[in-house]
Amino acid sequence: MRKSFVAVLISFVAISCKNVQEVAPFGTVPTPQQVEWQKMEYNMFMHFGPNTFTGVEWGSGQEKEELFNPTAMDCSQWTQIAKAAGMKGVIITAKHHDGFCLWPNPVSNHTVAQSPWRDGKGDVLKDLSEACREDGLGFGIYISPWDRNDPHYGTDEYNDVFVKTLEHALGSYGHVFEQWFDRACGEGPNGKQQVYDWPLFNSTVHKMQPDAVIFSDYGPGCRWVGNESGSAGRTCWSTINVNEDFTGPVQSRKDLNEGIRGGDTWAAAETDVSIRPGWFWRESENSKVKSLQHLLKIYYESVGRNSVLLLNVPADTRGLIHEVDSLRLMELRAALDEIFSVDLAAGGKVIADNVRGKSRRFKALNILDGDYDSYWATDDSVTTASFAVELPEARTFNRVQLQEYIPLGQRVSAFSIEAQGEDGTWRTIAKETTIGYKRIVHVPVTTATSIRVNIEESEACPVINGFALYMDSIYTLETTLPIDQ
């Protein structure tokens, strides 16, 4: 009797699994490389070059190569700090607007090879790419097309020089996870501006490094977040609209900050911000390194808002990250570890009002299993749905983390969160818009036995792969707006 019941159950499950359709991707979706890039979450930006020695932000291009002479250059120090900070990659200014190349670029006379550093035999890109490999970090390259030194700048020839520059930098140091294009376009030594050939530049990157995600103001791989203060939009779509030739239309800062719902290109926001007031190191700013509270705010408003954080930590004239900065990074790491080490939703039960095809494959409990590729999904016809997490006991938290399974597109455009107190009453603790890869919602300190997430509006059936609750007792600069605002 028992045996036949089990057999019937097994065949029922088998039939139901077989018949339930996969969730079809919705709209514009990321490439696998863009998904991996987003999973990195937190990377180091490294501004280093002649400006480090002159104390200016934009060099004129007339700086003498002799200036560049770090006294204790050690890229392993950078990568060890980045790794200990929990960062996953490092992106270096291989060439800033002043045109000086941190590697011996054969098509330039303004490089480390002309400097006294290591008798002209040094190569920062070589050292850093090796240190990144050693420490298991991604290696990324910033190259500014604006060049205030190159005599060809402002003529057609320059685009070819720039392509050769790209080919050399991207072809000599192994895998590059991100190519960072600064779109600044000022005047060169002859007083002329350059007309950049973006399709040619982008195709060169794709040819040299097929897996590299290309950053620029509007992609094509990832986009600028629209400010340098470290804040993605509270609403943040990973899509924008871009012309095929990537010359525009120039997106408004608001569109860059919030993305465009239903946009034609997947280009998630990257939040680049400096740990100091300037991008380059200068002694006078050793006392102005951002506070732990400020960095936590930046973390919540970038990683917590569907963006990747690219935190600039510039090396000093020794060629080392200064002690003040590294100490602050370790404080941030310790705080993040403390906040996110205990998931208070662990061990909970999850019930949803709709499960795709009533299939176990798409069951609501998938949101708690820690497996990125398993998710809760509803039937295609359902775009308004709720799930409730019943906690093993009453628990106190002030952060609710949600994740959408972005390989299938970004869908949710409005959701609310309710909590059931120990007296049994439910109250709304948050009303928000987008989720994306990761959303960390700030809620008032709440003690609850159950939490309910209501997907109130979604472009297609919701697909949620992560849910967690945390208690942050460290961050004091609360930014939560009152509900309904």
Q: How near is the Cβ of 274 to ligand FUL at its closest, in Å?
A: 8
- Residue number, 145 or 407, with CB nearest to ligand FUL: 145
Residue 187, strand partner residues: 193
Rounded Cα–Cα distance for residues 374 and 411 (Å): 17
Q: How near is the Cβ of 308 to ligand FUL at its closest, in Å?
A: 14
**CA–CA–CA angle 439, 444, 449 (5° rounding):** 90
Q: How near is the Cβ of 200 to ligand FUL at its closest, in Å?
A: 21
Site residues for ligand FUL, 175-204, by CB under 6 A, read 182, 184
- Residue number, 272 or 472, with CB nearest to ligand FUL: 272
Q: How near is the Cβ of 287 to ligand FUL at its closest, in Å?
A: 22
Q: How near is the Cβ of 38 to ligand FUL at its closest, in Å?
A: 20
CA-nearest of 307, 314, 302, 310 to 276 is 314
Token pair for 332: 């941030």
Query: x/- site string to ligand FUL, residues 42 to 81, per CB under 6 A?
Result: ---------------x------------------------
CB 377 within 8 A of CB 412: no
Q: How near is the Cβ of 184 to ligand FUL at its closest, in Å?
A: 5
Q: How near is the Cβ of 37 to ligand FUL at its closest, in Å?
A: 18
Site residues for ligand FUL, 259-318, by CB under 6 A, read 272, 279
Rounded Cα–Cα distance for residues 169 and 302 (Å): 29
Q: How near is the Cβ of 266 to ligand FUL at its closest, in Å?
A: 22
Q: How near is the Cβ of 331 to ligand FUL at its closest, in Å?
A: 24
CA-nearest of 175, 181, 163, 105 to 139 is 175
Query: x/- site string to ligand FUL, residues 10 to 49, per CB under 6 A?
Result: ----------------------------------------
Query: x/- site string to ligand FUL, residues 135 to 174, per CB under 6 A?
Result: ----------------------------------------
- Residue number, 217 or 316, with CB nearest to ligand FUL: 217
CB 265 within 8 A of CB 241: yes
- For the chain, how are helix, strand and coil distributed in percent, rounded to 5? 30, 25, 45
- Residue number, 279 or 376, with CB nearest to ligand FUL: 279
- Residue number, 135 or 301, with CB nearest to ligand FUL: 301
Token pair for 445: 């300190």
- Residue number, 185 or 351, with CB nearest to ligand FUL: 185
CB 26 within 8 A of CB 459: yes
Query: What 3-state class would DSSP assign to 358?
Result: helix
- Residue number, 140 or 462, with CB nearest to ligand FUL: 140
- Residue number, 103 or 387, with CB nearest to ligand FUL: 103
- Residue number, 139 or 215, with CB nearest to ligand FUL: 215
- Residue number, 96 or 322, with CB nearest to ligand FUL: 96
Tokens 């959408």 found at? 404
Range 287-295, long-range pairs (CB < 8 A, 24+ positions)? 287/324, 289/324, 289/325, 289/328, 290/328, 291/328, 292/328, 292/331, 292/332, 292/335, 292/474, 293/475, 293/476, 293/477, 294/477, 295/328, 295/332
Q: How near is the Cβ of 294 to ligand FUL at its closest, in Å?
A: 18
Instruction: Give 1: exposed, middle or buried? Use CB within 10 Å, 0-12, 13-18, 19+.
Output: exposed
CB 192 within 8 A of CB 158: no
# binding residues, ligand FUL (CB under 6 A): 5
- Judged by the rule CB under 6 A, the positions of this chain that interact with ligand FUL are 57, 182, 184, 272, 279
